[in-house]
């Protein structure tokens, strides 16, 4: 009888005891709002901002309600207005074009390569169509950031990085989120630090940071942002910037700080599991492993494969067969969005032209979460199930 995996692809590890204790302390004193402090107290949100800025080497950091809010705020803070066009990935998740639409702007999709990164040739071809790129490091894959920045700098394009899947990752040692003008991170429950919802925004630009703080709902309490720019930066900005409240609270920050302190250890654990699964499926006929560049420091909290040239029916069959054995895949080639999974032509608020080259890539992308609740033995079993079922379905279509 075939082996069946009985674990969960959505079960997270518990919040560390230090985070639980810090959260209980916040609940006991009741000062959850970031500006509700007593004399001599530094808010948990402020401490988180200072610690996160230091961890990535950014000057300024702002803790917000979600990664999506961080992206929309970044777009506003760099000057994107209603009707503007913004470049972004064809291969991403709905909050990315959603952030563009939230400010009244129009997404212009850039293609995806078989390595699952932004197609830099397509970016260069479309560089005259917009002044801002909202770059999604989708599912943790980093493109050649030096070449991307050279293209954008040459065309005067401001880069905002969506790092929802790359907190802890880097290109040639430089952390994701610090290449462009703004880096946006998510603390949603499936991300690398978990507060259920939440986000972080980093920049080295004082005016962009000041606008973001005002947008987030600081009122005139901006001087309490110890990871923010000097007070004089706000002199004009404080009168010009609408309050679009999206603050993080002290309870979430308290939960996150111990996780941030342990992020490097957790990233190493994710990578152990990622590479165990990759090794188990490598060499499977019909399945392509995504080779990761030497310049990329990855965080393997999910893993992707390509089923090149497979029909939709064959992919659907594989997904069903693996699901019957306890292995949960997401497929980015389906005609209809399912759960978290969608593609550029799913978002019908955008009049997007067809992208045949990207369509061929999307048609074969299989995606799978790699929770830290998996053991290495689980990873070996999962890899074996994938290998067996790809071989079975592949033999029927060969």
Which residue from 163, 146, 162 is spatially nearest to 154, judged by alpha carbons? Answer: 146
Cβ distance 221 to 43 under 8 Å?
no
Classified as helix, coil or strand, 288 is strand
Residue ranges of alpha helices (H) inside the chain are 17-29, 44-56, 67-77, 95-102, 120-125, 145-154, 206-215, 234-240, 250-261, 263-281, 312-324, 356-362, 376-397
- Could you list the pLDDT tens digit for every one of the 398 residues in the chain? 489 999 999 999 999 999 999 999 999 999 999 999 999 999 999 999 999 999 999 999 999 999 999 999 999 999 999 999 999 999 999 999 999 999 999 999 999 999 999 999 999 999 999 999 999 999 999 999 999 999 999 999 999 999 999 999 999 999 999 999 999 999 999 999 999 999 999 999 999 999 999 999 999 999 999 999 999 999 999 999 999 999 999 999 999 999 999 999 999 999 999 999 999 999 999 999 999 999 999 999 999 999 999 999 999 999 999 999 999 999 998 888 888 888 899 999 999 999 999 999 999 999 999 999 999 999 999 999 999 999 999 777 65
Q: Rounded distance, CA 51 to CA 45, Å?
A: 10
Q: Rounded distance, CA 334 to CA 59, Å?
A: 42
Q: Quick one: pLDDT at residue 1?
A: 45
CA separation (Å) from 132 to 78, 81, 103?
Answer: 9, 11, 13
Q: Rounded distance, CA 314 to CA 364, Å?
A: 10
Cα of 209 vs its chain's centroid, Å: 20
Q: Rounded distance, CA 44 to CA 252, Å?
A: 9
Q: Rounded distance, CA 366 to CA 319, Å?
A: 9
Cβ distance 222 to 213 under 8 Å?
yes
pTM of the model as a whole: 0.97
Q: Can you give the length of the chain in residues?
A: 398
Per-residue burial over 261-276, b if 16 or more Cβ lie within 10 Å, else e, is: eebeebbebbbebbbb
Other C-beta atoms closer than 10 Å to the C-beta of 151 total: 18
Which residue from 373, 367, 371 is spatially nearest to 386, judged by alpha carbons? Answer: 367
Classified as helix, coil or strand, 51 is helix
DSSP lists the bridge partners of residue 297 as 170
Q: Rounded distance, CA 333 to CA 370, Å?
A: 21
What domains sit in the chain, N to C, each tagged with a CATH number?
Answer: 17-261 (3.40.640.10), 263-397 (3.90.1150.10)
CA separation (Å) from 48 to 14, 226, 259?
Answer: 20, 11, 11
Cα first-last separation, the chain: 25
Vertex 217: Cα angle to 166 and 225 (nearest 5): 70
Q: Quick one: pLDDT at residue 398?
A: 56
């Amino acid at each position: 009888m075939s082996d069946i995996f009985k674990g969960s692809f959505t079960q997270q590890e518990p919040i560390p005891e230090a985070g639980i204790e810090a959260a209980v302390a916040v609940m006991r004193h009741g000062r959850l709002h970031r500006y509700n402090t007593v004399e001599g107290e530094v808010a948990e949100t402020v401490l988180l901002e200072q610690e996160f800025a230091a961890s990535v080497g950014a000057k300024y950091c702002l803790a917000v309600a979600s990664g999506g809010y961080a992206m929309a705020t970044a777009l506003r803070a760099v000057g994107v207005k209603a009707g503007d066009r913004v470049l972004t990935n064809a291969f991403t998740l709905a909050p990315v074009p959603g952030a563009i639409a939230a400010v009244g702007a129009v997404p212009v999709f850039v293609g995806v390569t078989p390595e699952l990164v932004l197609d830099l040739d397509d970016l260069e071809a479309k560089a005259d169509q917009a002044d801002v790129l909202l770059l999604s490091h989708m599912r943790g894959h980093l493109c050649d950031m030096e070449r991307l920045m050279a293209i954008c700098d040459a065309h005067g394009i401001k880069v905002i990085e969506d790092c929802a899947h790359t907190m802890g990752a880097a290109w040639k040692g430089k952390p994701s989120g610090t290449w462009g003008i703004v880096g946006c991170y998510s603390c949603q429950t499936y991300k690398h630090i978990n507060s259920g919802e939440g986000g972080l925004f980093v920049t080295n630009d004082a005016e962009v940071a000041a606008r973001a703080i005002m947008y987030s709902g600081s009122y005139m309490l901006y001087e309490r942002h110890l990871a923010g720019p000097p007070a004089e930066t706000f002199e004009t900005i404080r009168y010009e910037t609408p309050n679009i409240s999206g603050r993080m609270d002290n309870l979430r920050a308290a939960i996150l700080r111990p996780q941030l302190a342990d992020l490097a250890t957790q990233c190493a654990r994710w990578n152990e599991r990622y590479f165990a699964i990759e090794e188990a499926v490598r060499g499977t006929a019909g399945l392509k492993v995504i080779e990761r560049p030497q310049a990329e420091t990855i965080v393997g909290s999910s893993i992707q494969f390509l089923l090149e040239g497979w029909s939709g029916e064959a992919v659907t069959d594989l997904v069903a067969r693996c699901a019957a054995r306890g292995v949960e895949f997401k497929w980015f080639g389906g005609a209809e969005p399912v759960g978290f999974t969608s593609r550029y032509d799913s978002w019908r608020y955008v009049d997007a032209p067809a992208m045949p080259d990207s369509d061929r890539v999307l048609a074969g992308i299989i995606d799978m979460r790699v929770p830290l609740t998996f053991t290495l033995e689980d990873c070996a079993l999962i890899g074996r199930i994938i290998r067996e079922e790809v071989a079975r379905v592949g033999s029927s279509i060969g």
